[in-house]
Amino acid sequence: MGFDLTNEQNDIKQAARQFAEKEFPEVGRDLDTKEEFPREIWKKACELGFVGVFIQQDYGGAGLGTLENCLITEEFYRVDPGMGSVLLTSYGSEMIQSGGSEDQRRKYLPPIARGEQIIGMASKGSNGTGEISNATIEAKRENDGYVINGEKTFVVNGGIADSFVVVCTSNPGNYDPFEKHSAFIVGGDCEGVQARSYRNKLGVRATDIARVTFENVRLPLENLIGKEGSGHSLLKQFLLRAKVYISAMGTGVSQGALDQAIKFAKMRHAFGHPIGFFQGIHFKLAEIATSIEAVRYLYYKAGSEIDQNKPNSKLASMAKLLAAEVSAQVTAEVIQIHGGYGYMKDLDPERFYRDAQFLRILEETTEMDKAVIAKSFLGAGIMGQI
């Protein structure tokens, strides 16, 4: 088994880095302050084919794998985690590609790949459990379609999305999660859909995150993704990929913070030496670099396994858990290496530190990741359905 990237994968990584280094630095801090989505950069990233690379060529994408998507993600988040959010404009469309009808794929995927439309994904209950078995959005079958009611807090792109993939409870009397939920495509402009964007977020402030409510939203049958009752399995497949993306985000955030620390250690002088002269700083930098390398190879493996059709939810959860926790620790340590300057908003370490916290919560929290990992060896008999 090898860990070397192919020439094509190295080229993709380098192209993503060049794009990010050219486009992000000038606007990143400003859009973070204003909490503004980078529309122009998103358009350019789509034109150059960086967004939704997993979308098959028949539907306007590059038809690449999870690993390639992750390589781009790492490079974008390395340069600026806030701007990396432009990649999330296709977040959730994987469920249309994997479970949708040919008509749904042809209608929804090409505009996302071209940068004409943005999608959001509303999956979990806002009642505090983080499990879809407690989803608070309900779909009722009525005449020739469905009526949807409920709300979802914290939806990425919620306030700017042209459409949503929404996972609802469609059969509340059924206790089997693999029959209880269904996934739908809901237009952002459908009557009864309302989004309110959150202000004053801690991190990833250029990403729009909103509370989305669905009030008597009427959908035709053709908006159901796959079969009625297949929502849970579609979501599980999607979450597996999403966890590996998050792991690549964490690798990028940590690497970007390390880049800043190395530069600072060479430049900042104390007691007559650059601070990189002191052993205390060597140890910190060496430990950070070692953790990042471990995280990177874990996501390479988890992403490659998905691309080889051997999805492994334990490994994906491990990759996400480690990357999220490492990025939180690394960004805190990089602030320490910067001393007083690390505490100031004029430099980037504090922004990377804030952005890293997002990764510990997005999709399942790191605590839930631990539950998935433990369940893989303790079994459902002891731990129940997660």
Ligand X SMILES: Cc1cc2nc3c(=O)[nH]c(=O)nc-3n(C[C@H](O)[C@H](O)[C@H](O)COP(=O)(O)OP(=O)(O)OC[C@H]3O[C@@H](n4cnc5c(N)ncnc54)[C@H](O)[C@@H]3O)c2cc1C
**Closer CB to ligand X, 12 or 161, in the complex:** 161
Instruction: Please identify, among the stretches 128-136, 174-182, 277-285, 316-324, the one whose residues bind ligand X according to the rule CB under 6 A.
Output: 128-136
Which of these ranges, 12-20, 153-161, 234-242, 257-265, lies near ligand X under the rule CB under 6 A?
153-161
With contacts defined by CB under 6 A, how many residues of the chain interact with ligand X? 21
Q: How far is CA 210 from CA 45, 133, 152, 192, 376, in A?
A: 23, 22, 9, 16, 33
Binding ligand X (rule: CB under 6 A), the pick from 358, 359, 372, 375 is: 358
Number of other residues whose CB lies within 10 A of the CB of residue 2: 6
Tell me whether residue 190 or residue 371 sits nearer to ligand X (CB atom).
371
User: Which residue in the block uniquely carries the two structure tokens 């084919």?
Assistant: 49
CA distance 213 to 320: 29
Q: What are the phi and psi torsion angles at 311 (to 5°)?
A: -60, 140
Q: Is 305 known to be catalytic?
A: no
Supply the minimum distance, in Å, between the C-beta of residue 164 and ligand X. 9
Separation between Cα atoms, residue 348 and residue 69, nearest integer Å: 25
Which residue pairs from 193-196 have beta carbons closer than 8 angstroms and sit at least 24 positions apart in sequence? 193/164, 193/217, 195/155, 195/158, 195/159, 195/161, 196/159
123, 163, 182, 291: which one binds ligand X (CB under 6 A)? 123
Write down the least CB distance from residue 187 to ligand X, Å. Answer: 17
Contacts for 65 with CB less than 8 Å, ≥ 6 apart? 54, 303, 306, 307
Q: Dihedral through CA 170, CA 171, CA 174, CA 179, nearest 10?
A: -50
Query: Using CB under 6 A, which of the segments 138-146, 237-245, 274-282, 365-373 binds ligand X?
Result: 365-373
- Residue 163: CB minimum distance to ligand X, A: 13
Q: How far apart are CA 31 and CA 207, in angstroms?
A: 9
Minimum CB–partner distance for residue 364 and ligand X (Å): 5
285 vs 324, beta carbon nearer ligand X: 324
Site string for ligand X, 257-296 (x = CB under 6 A): ----------------------------------------
Residue choice 2, 128, 280, 340 for contact with ligand X (CB under 6 A): 128
Candidates 83, 209, 242, 315; binder of ligand X (CB under 6 A) is 209
Say whether residue 362 binds ligand X (CB under 6 A): yes
Gap between the Cα atoms of 269 and 146, Å rounded: 66
Which range, of 63-71, 181-189, 250-258, 359-367, touches ligand X by CB under 6 A? 359-367
Minimum distance from residue 166 beta carbon to ligand X (Å): 9
Q: Which of 367, 378, 379, 385 binds ligand X (CB under 6 A)?
A: 367
Q: Which of 70, 72, 112, 121 binds ligand X (CB under 6 A)?
A: 121
- Does 332 sit near ligand X (CB under 6 A)? no
155 binds ligand X (CB under 6 A): yes
CA distance 98 to 306: 13
Strands (E), the chain: 119-122, 138-142, 145-156, 163-169, 181-187, 193-197, 209-220, 224-225, 269-270, 273-274
Residue identified by tokens 């690549």 is 248
Reported as type and span, the H/E element at residue 157 is: none
Tell me how far CA of residue 63 lies from CA of 49, 91, 113, 142, in angstroms: 10, 16, 11, 37
- The Cα 45–Cα 65 span in angstroms is 18
What is the smallest separation between the CB atom of 131 and ligand X, expressed in angstroms? 8
Residues that bind ligand X (CB under 6 A): 121-124, 128-130, 152, 154-156, 209, 358, 361-365, 367-368, 371
Q: List active site positions.
A: 363
